[in-house]
Amino acid sequence: MPGLPLLNPDLASLLQQWGPEDITAAFFKCTRWQREDTMDVINCPYHYFCDSVYPSHYPAVVDVSVLLVAVVSYLSSMALAVVHCMARRAPEVAHGGRVQLLLRKYLLPSGPVVLPLLLLALANGHRTGAVFPLSSFGPAVFQLVLVSALAFDNPADGSLKYALLESSTVSGILHASLYLESVVMPYYTGLDALVTSSLSGECPTCVCRREALVVGGSVVSYRAWSPVTFAVVGTLCSRLACVLFGVERLSSVAKLTLEVLAWVLVARDCVYLAVRSPGGDVLEMAAYGAVCVLMCVTVSRRVYTLLACLPTFAGAQKERMLCP
């Protein structure tokens, strides 16, 4: 994409050369907004223009590949969640079966196979936008990873293996949040500049604003590197500590508290993104809605399991009190 001129005497021909879609794309792909002095402090107190943009997109096959990985991993997560909800016994029994084990190992979004692929896509997300722009759909993909990590525990068949799997999941979530942040922050900044500003007429991306433009803008409040990410990471670390060092009453209460907090925060983000989709596109709203559906199914299964275990726990406490 060519560099953006600062001044152009023939604005009409320049706008015709770029076109509305090119101008909108320049706003969303801008990497640096430059502020310049203005003489009109009443009508244009803050004047900005895009100083640099991201390079061109990858071929469409890259977008389609990312889409296929995300869809397949989502369907696998939904299938496992439905199987666990239909199981009448403890969820550990539902983990059996070769097909389910293969799905958990190779197709879950937070698994050791799909998560590195999603990390690779998010690391290059600024150039993934020909068909499936990660600047718009990236938060839905990240939410899918968080829900998967909370809903499906890694099988604790060995302390060392479990520790490696859980540590890699934690590291993957932290890296994914950083990669996603670098993708969505320029997008949200450009969205703010496009929605809450007016074109000044000096160049295609020259805008006048009443307030200063900040990184990330003020239109969308979602952030990937946020307390939600740390709540999920804290839950995974508490699970790892309980497996390695044993579960005591205090640690189990802390683990349950962290998990409930993580679910509440993830649910808040899912609902916010589904109701207030940044791009306002139907496909975006459908993607966030699908993640919300998966979250509802998994939370229902967790609540059912907790309620089913309460009588057993109460009976054990009563027996302990009766014993001398």
pLDDT in tens, 161-192: 888 888 999 999 999 999 999 999 999 999 89
Burial (CB count within 10 angstroms: exposed 0-12, middle 13-18, buried 19+), residue 215:
exposed
Residue 36 is predicted with a pLDDT of: 85
Backbone angles phi, psi at 30, to 5 degrees: -75, 135
**Over residues 142-160, mean pLDDT:** 83
**Over residues 130-151, mean pLDDT:** 90
CA distance 313 to 308: 9
The pLDDT > 70 percentage for the chain reads: 79
Burial (CB count within 10 angstroms: exposed 0-12, middle 13-18, buried 19+), residue 72:
middle
pLDDT 10s digits, 248-292: 555 677 788 888 999 999 999 988 988 877 666 788 888 888 999
pLDDT 10s digits, 207-258: 899 889 998 888 888 999 999 999 999 999 988 887 777 665 556 777 888 8
Q: Confidence class of residue 81 from pLDDT cuts 50, 70 and 90?
A: confident
Q: Is the predicted pLDDT of residue 51 greater than 50, yes or no?
A: yes
Which residues are CB-neighbours of 59 under 8 A, at least 6 positions away?
Answer: 130
Q: Is the predicted pLDDT of residue 11 greater than 60, yes or no?
A: no
CB 168 within 8 A of CB 154: no
Can you give the pTM of this predicted structure?
Answer: 0.83
Backbone angles phi, psi at 208, to 5 degrees: -110, 140
CA distance 295 to 302: 10
Q: What are the structural domain ranges in the chain?
A: 60-188+216-309
